[in-house]
Amino acid sequence: MTVKGLESSSKWRAFTQVFTFGPTFRAENSQSRRHLAEFYMVEAEISFIESLQDLMQVMEELFKATTEVVLSNCPEDVDLCHKFIAPGQKDRLERMLKNSFLIISYTEAIEILKQASQNFTFTPKWGVDLQTEHEKYLVKHCGNVPVFVINYPLSLKPFYMRDNEDGPQHTVAAVDLLVPGVGELFGGSLREERYHVLEQRLARLGLVKAYQWYLDLRKFGPVPHGGFGMGFERYLQCLLGVDNIKDVIPFPRFTHSCLL
C-alpha cells in the first residue's frame, strides 16, 4: 500500500501537467515474461482533471503520438523486429493507431470472462484482480485493439484513488489500459483530493500514523487531479511484438538476478 512517485509529492501542483521518467523497483517475487525487478516508467500527474474520460484521452494520445514518432524516426529498426520476431505486428499497430480505444467497466470485464468458452487458470469473479490471462482474453474479445478497463473495486486499489461513492459495489475511479500481446500497459486513476475522505479511509486501514505526512500535504485544500504510469519496457514489447520483457532492456534485473 505505497504511494507512487509524483502522487506522493505536493510540488507537481505548482504546474498543471508534469511527468517523470526513470527507474522503478518492484519488490514482489514476480517470475514472468512481463515483470522485472527494475524497470523504467513514465509517470504523469495532471491538475484540475475531474473525469476518467479526460485522463483516458491523455493516455490514448500519449500512446499514439509516441508510437507515430518512433515509427517515423526509426522505421528500419522497427521493421527489423516486425520481420524476424513478430510478423503481422505492423498491421496490428496500424489498427491500434487508426481506431479509438474501447472502454469497459471492471464489472463488464468480469461478466465477459465468466461467459468465455476458454478455461482460465484463475477463475474470474467480482472483487478479484484481473490476471494476465484475463487481460489478454479481454483484448482479443474486443477485436485486438487497446481497451480501457475502469472503475475497479475499492478493495483492489491503493487508498489514494478517488471513491466513486456508488453504493454497495464501492468502486474507485481507476483505469488500466490493456494492449494486445502484453496485457496491462498503463495504470492510473483520479486521485482522492477530499481530505476527510482520505482521513477516514486511512483510519479504516490503520495507516493514519504512517501517512500523516500525506494528509498534511493535502490539509489546506488540494486541487482535483489524476495521473497514471506507463511501463516503458512493456511499451517496447507492444510496439515491437517482443514476447519476453527481458529482451527489451539492455541489462534485465529480475528476482535472483540483479547483477550490476
Task: Please tell me whether residue 175 adopts helix, strand or coil conformation.
Answer: strand
Q: Are 187 and 176 in contact (CB under 8 A)?
A: yes
Look up the pTM and report it.
0.89
| Residue appearing with cell numbers 507492444 | 238
Per-residue pLDDT tens listing for the chain (260 residues): 455 555 555 555 667 778 889 888 887 777 777 778 888 999 999 999 999 999 999 999 999 999 999 999 999 999 999 999 889 888 999 999 999 999 999 999 999 999 998 899 999 999 999 999 999 999 999 999 999 999 999 999 999 999 999 888 899 999 999 999 899 999 999 999 999 999 999 999 999 999 999 999 888 878 899 999 999 999 999 999 999 988 888 888 877 777 66
Residue type, 189: S
| Residue appearing with cell numbers 461467459 | 115
CA 239 from chain centre, in angstroms, equals 16
* Angstrom distance (rounded) from CA 128 to CA 219: 33
Q: Are 228 and 193 in contact (CB under 8 A)?
A: no
Q: Where are the domains of the chain?
A: 5-247
Arch. (CATH architecture) of 5-247: 2-Layer Sandwich (3.30)
Most distant pair of Cα atoms in the chain: their distance: 56
pLDDT at 5: 57
